[in-house]
Structure 1
Amino acid sequence: MIFDPQDKSLLLWNRLLIISCILSVSVDPLFFYLPVFNYRMACLGMDTNLAATITTMRTLLDVFYLIRMALQFRIAYVAPSSRVFGRGELVIDPAQIATRYLSRYFIVDFLSVLPLPQIVVWKYINNKRKGSEVLATKQALLIIVFLQYIPRFARFLPLGSDLKKTAGSFAESAFAGAAYYLLWYMLASHIAGAFWYLLAIERKDTCWREACILSGKCNIDFLYCFHGWRRISDEVLGNKCSVSKDDNPRFNYGIYFQAMSSDIVSSRSFVSKFFYCLWWGLQNLSTLGQGLLTSTYPLEVIFSILLAIAGLILFALLIGNMQTYLQSLSVRLEEMRIKRRDSEQWMHHRLLPQDLRERVRRYDQYKWLETRGVDEETLVQSLPKDLKRDIKRHLCLNLVRRVSMVLFFSVIFDAPLVCFFPIFFVSLNMVVMQVPLFANMDETLLDAICERLKPSLYTEETYIVREGDPVDEMLFIIRGRLESVTTDGGRSGFFNRGVLKEGDFCGEELLTWALDPKSLGNLPLSTRTVRALTEVEAFALEAEELKFVASQFRRLHSRQLQHTFRFYSQQWRTWASCFIQAAWRRYSRRRAAELHRLEEEEEEVDYDEEDGDERALVEENDGFARLGATILASRFAANALRGHRLRSLNSRALKKLRRPPEPDFSEE
């Protein structure tokens, strides 16, 4: 089985391998803590319990590394000659893959995984004459671990480079990247502390050997544990190698004096030794070794020089890389500050009034809080077409389907010009109208609309469009509330107000314009003034985009869509409100006229009866003739006034609101 170098499971394995490499180079310095002085017996020995633990850890890591080496024979690679165009061609021939690995990194991996430290330690543990092997084991561990560090680091660098090529980066977040470089700095401190401990053991051993030779009373082999000599050594070594300056002014421990005075070299507590040496390494790497007081011992001076150089390089790398990673957290904030400063300078230069400045600042602040400086439109446009379509569909499809979930008749009867009828309102308000504007469109048409929607932000008191201005976009509200007002072109006494909320839309005049194949380039005029009552987040569909959708998808022309459009259009709702109000007033006038007619008929009957009585009175008494003429004149005047009132009532009837233009929903 051949693996793709960019396979997700292989990328995870590469990350685990890098972690194992870091652990392995962390375990190797632990071998330096094996030598320990036994002051009670005045000898140098090995901590066998710690040796068994460290060798087990190193063996487990080597097994993991061997698995990685075996996997290298099954990982395909890109042929260098095929990188001219595109990604390149993968070589999947096992023979070619094996040949390439054997000629490049196999030797380095083989030298890195050789269990030489384990062999040296196991040889010492299983040797019956441990006393004679302490010196050889100590020197062998120093040489082997130091030499194996070269191939291990040499293999680690290309491994990290390959991981960055395949995965893009080792750390995907800023904090992970900063922690990654801080880990390397701590690892360097650990290595420096372990070397310092072993060199301190070496320096103490040198002092003992010199004291033993100068005394002429002891055998050097007796300085190592598992030998019987110890009484004379206490007296000889105490005079020569004591850490007290008064007792021993002749021997200078240099930078290792702190290890001798703290008795770290004789401690059997691994935790104490490890953290004390780690602190010493971290302290001196951070200070570039400025606090070190060296002796004239050459190895000590060389170690101090290397420590100062390593501290300078590592500290520069740590600060530089951590600054790079941490700056990525505030780069957007810094861009916002620069943009705000430029905006303030521009407004000051152009002498903008204070109210306009506050509106600009409020918009910039709201936009930053909503987007955090990320240009969503540019981000989406840079993606492949299918991915961009899926993202737009996820963001906008539910909104386009839903558009507005309101009660049609409730909106009508809530309009200011509409008469309120409790009986009709209760009965019609029970019917919940949930027919969205685009509910009956197919998926292709909805995708086409979603792809062309663009995010928009508006602050409080912002006028989206004013009555009489050209409408250049259709707005679908995601969050916030807007006020929609119309005066029917400034007609005296006419005012209609509505509130748009989440799921509503405005700018429906564009739909009529877009569906008309004969419409010219002139945009339609807005019939309403739309103002943001709160911060508003919406999606906008520009005029040209809507025109393109209407021209490309003839399924947009349907009679069912016509009725749905009328249902949700604020313009049609206002017209319907006024139409219902006018019908009710016509009904009221007819009913009033009928009542007047019945009253007149009753009055005529009464008049005929009164007229007969009056004639009888006139015949009986001619003296009352002048009184009858007066009564007839009053009746005539009353009838004339009633006719004038009816004519005045008809003349005061409201002018009809103009019917909104009908979109051309007919299919060509």
Structure 2
Amino acid sequence: MEQDGNIQDKFKGAEQRKAVRFMSPEREKDKKLEKSVNRMLLSLSKPIINNPSQVPSSPKDPTNCLKLILDPGGYILLTWNRAFLMSCFIALCIDPLFFFLPFVDNTYPYLCIRTDQHLACVLTILRCMVDMVYLINIIIKFHTAYVDPISEVLGKGELITDPRLIVNRYLRKGFLIDLLGALPFPQYTIRVYLIIPLSNKIIKVMGFLARTAWAGAIYNLLLYLLASHVVGAVYYLLAMERQATCWQSQCLADVASQNNQTCNFQYLECRNTGSQDSQNWANNTSAFANCNAATKGISFNFGIFLIALQYGLTTTSLSEKYFYSLWWGFQELR
């Protein structure tokens, strides 16, 4: 019986050793995969350095972040460039919305021009958030290596990672344009200019801008929508200007025809409608009757804005203004 027990123990031990031999290759693969992943994550977290003297002495050193140099063709910078490209499109969409701030208010004793303060606050906050992204992009460029032009001619493509050389080169090339694009002022032309080299940089690294055909189609559609959005916003602002020009010209005509009639353009602003002088002017002037685009036979020429003013574009809600202007932009870009 003891011999039988020993034989069974040996048999079980042999089976366990076989199981260990059978499982060991998979475990080795798992360990190799784990090591490769850890090595990749470690390489992404390490800064590019020129020599061993640039290696930080302590991982807790707060100046390590300032010494970080990014690879211009690396995954981190490529991801940031894609995100920054989207923020550029968002900025280009926000800026034309400021053209919708003035509108004609018909809730006062007479028609007057007013500024949408609520929309102005929302757009200002959004614009400040986008400007912060532009500032972050400037900081990132101060920590991005570049290819030495001389070595690129020779076919080597050596990366320059010296922080002083990077800063000096960026201050000479590109910093002023990026700074102007980050200022809180309407810089539409500059922001359009920034998109072109950014797109070319992504294409140079990846070989393409969009990963799939659908993504490329959506990208082109966004460009078309953006162009229509800009054209429509400009159209609305010019329509407002045309309406105000008609009122001003008719106001001056009333002064010429009536000796006791006064003309003050400030009466056309809603903040001045509460005074007695403005109400007297509104009761005696013919500006509102002769500048009503819906009235037939008026002498003032509204041009291409006639249909929009007949529709009441300047007095409708913000959504109607925007979509009507966008539709007009679509028509002009067909």
Q: Smaller-chain TM-score range?
A: 0.7 to 0.9
Percent identity over paired residues: 40
Aligned partner of 2:128 among 59, 73, 83 = 59
Residue 40 of structure 1: how far off its partner (Å): 3.6
Matched, 1:204 2:243: yes
Aligned partner of 1:266 among 302, 305, 315 = 315
Residue 282 of structure 1: how far off its partner (Å): 0.6
* 1:105/1:155 contact within 8 Å kept: no
Residue 212 of structure 1: how far off its partner (Å): 1.1
Aligned partner of 2:83 among 1, 16, 22 = 16
* 1:171/1:177 contact within 8 Å kept: yes
Matched, 1:251 2:300: yes
Please give the per-residue CA displacement for 1:627-662, whole angstroms capped at 9, x wherever unaligned. xxxxxxxxxxxxxxxxxxxxxxxxxxxxxxxxxxxx
* 1:208/1:237 contact within 8 Å kept: yes
Q: How does 1:609-648 map to 2 (within 5 A)?
A: none
Residue 182 of structure 1: how far off its partner (Å): 1.4
State the match for 2:287 in structure 1.
Answer: 237
CA RMSD of aligned residues (A): 1.5
1:199 counterpart letter in structure 2: L
Change (3 A) 1:62 1:273: same
Over 3 Å off, 4+ runs:
84-87
Matched, 1:169 2:218: no
Residue 85 of structure 1: how far off its partner (Å): 4.5
Matched, 1:222 2:270: no
Secondary structure at 1:266 match in 2: coil
Where in structure 1 are there 5+ consecutive unaligned residues? 117-144, 287-668
* 2:181/2:190 contact within 8 Å kept: yes
State the match for 2:95 in structure 1.
Answer: 28
* 2:138/2:178 contact within 8 Å kept: yes
If the length of structure 2 is used for normalisation, what is the TM-score? 0.73
Residue 39 of structure 1: how far off its partner (Å): 2.7
Residue 246 of structure 1: how far off its partner (Å): 2.5
Q: How does 1:477-516 map to 2 (within 5 A)?
A: none
Q: Residues of 2 paired with 1:82 and 1:160: CA distance? A: 24
If the length of structure 1 is used for normalisation, what is the TM-score? 0.37
Please give the per-residue CA displacement for 1:381-435, whole angstroms capped at 9, x wherever unaligned. xxxxxxxxxxxxxxxxxxxxxxxxxxxxxxxxxxxxxxxxxxxxxxxxxxxxxxx
Residue 244 of structure 1: how far off its partner (Å): 3.2
Residue 272 of structure 1: how far off its partner (Å): 1.7
Q: Residues of 1 paired with 2:269 and 2:288: CA distance? A: 16
Secondary structure at 1:226 match in 2: helix
Q: Residues of 1 paired with 2:329 and 2:156: CA distance? A: 45
* 1:239/1:247 contact within 8 Å kept: no
1:265 counterpart letter in structure 2: T
State the match for 1:340 in structure 2.
Answer: none
Q: Residues of 1 paired with 2:292 and 2:279: CA distance? A: 16
Structure having the larger proportion of residues in helix? 2
1:236 counterpart letter in structure 2: S
Q: Residues of 2 paired with 1:87 and 1:284: CA distance? A: 49
Residue 150 of structure 1: how far off its partner (Å): 1.9
* 2:103/2:315 contact within 8 Å kept: yes
Please give the per-residue CA displacement for 1:208-258, whole angstroms capped at 9, x wherever unaligned. 11111111233111111211314533652223201135241x111111112
State the match for 1:635 in structure 2.
Answer: none
Q: Residues of 2 paired with 1:233 and 1:169: CA distance? A: 61
Where in structure 2 are there 5+ consecutive unaligned residues? 1-67, 256-260
1:24 counterpart letter in structure 2: A
Q: How does 1:328-339 map to 2 (within 5 A)?
A: none
* 2:104/2:315 contact within 8 Å kept: yes
Q: Residues of 2 paired with 1:3 and 1:251: CA distance? A: 61
Q: Which has the higher contact order (CA 8 A, sep 6+)?
A: 2
Secondary structure at 1:172 match in 2: coil
1:95 counterpart letter in structure 2: R
Q: Residues of 2 paired with 1:181 and 1:18: CA distance? A: 14
State the match for 1:155 in structure 2.
Answer: 194
Q: Residues of 1 paired with 2:211 and 2:156: CA distance? A: 23
Q: How does 1:387-426 map to 2 (within 5 A)?
A: none
1:106 counterpart letter in structure 2: F
